[in-house]
Amino acid sequence: MTDPEFDDSAIEAGRLLFAQTCDFVIGAAALDQVPPTDLPEIAFAGRSNVGKSSLVNALTGRTTLARTSRSPGRTQQLNFFDLGGRLILADLPGYGFARAPKEQVKAWTELVRAYFRGRAPLRRVLLLVDARHGLKASDRETMALMDEAAVSYQAVLTKADKVKPSALDACLATCVDDLARRPAAHPHVLATSSRTGTGIAELRATLAALAEPAAR
């Protein structure tokens, strides 16, 4: 069944938005380094290795964008990109390393909590979830931070190509169910694959609906 949210014009709006140039703006290790903006902003959050860089690259059609902004030892920074002067994309540091030192987890939580609470242009956080694993305890901790800051968020499954359709449906259903009980969560969960392109046009359309309208 066709999702009414994604009619042809919505898909086209997403394609046009992501055909614009996407430029790295800054990597910020503290909220006071985050540049002010009048544009709407969307953030990408997820466990390390969830496929966040791959998804940002698949959306923007660039193979090096998210990775080049990521230098070793500087994992705890928020990376900002300007998409065609219409939308800011913010790449949040990954979380959930099993062996991460306590101080690192604390620093991550403080940085991200400050960002969620203090970033007025933030319209939505995309919470990336590996379709093979579903929501983990660390995702729930991040969801609690967003609920507490009243930041709207939407779950996006990654690596959909890695699971059978039945497992994907089950993961989607569990996520939808779980998110229905969360005050700040968007009810719609998208399944994507950076490898096959599944869901990428739909995610672009979702983001285009939140972006500054195109100049006429």
Q: Does 194 bind ligand GDP (CB under 6 A)?
A: yes
Cα of 54 vs its chain's centroid, Å: 11
Interior CA angle at 22 toward 117 and 124, to 5°? 25
CB contact at 8 A, 171 and 131: yes
Q: Hey, how many other C-beta atoms are within 10 angstroms of the C-beta on 81?
A: 22
Tokens of 130: 């590996």
Can residue 96 be called a binding residue for ligand GDP (CB under 6 A)?
A: no
Q: Binding of ligand GDP at residue 52 (CB under 6 A)?
A: yes
CB 139 within 8 A of CB 129: yes
The two tokens of residue 156 are 């996006």
Q: Does 206 bind ligand GDP (CB under 6 A)?
A: no
As measured in angstroms, the least distance from the Cβ of 160 to ligand GDP is 7
Q: Is 79 in the site for ligand GDP (CB under 6 A)?
A: no
Tally the residues of the chain: 216
Binding residue for ligand GDP, selected from 12, 147, 161, 178, defined by CB under 6 A: 161
- Among 159, 163, 168, 185, the residue binding ligand GDP under the rule CB under 6 A is 159
84 binds ligand GDP (CB under 6 A): no
Question: Counting contacts by CB under 6 A, is residue 69 touching ligand GDP?
Answer: no
Sign of dihedral through CA atoms 64, 160, 204, 43? negative
Give the total of residues touching ligand GDP (CB under 6 A).
16
How many Å apart are CA 92 and CA 94, to the nearest integer? 6
Q: Is 9 in the site for ligand GDP (CB under 6 A)?
A: no
Q: Is 93 in the site for ligand GDP (CB under 6 A)?
A: no
Among 79, 138, 158, 206, interactor with ligand GDP by CB under 6 A: 158
- For ligand GDP, the binding residues (CB under 6 A) are 46, 48-54, 94, 158-159, 161-162, 193-195
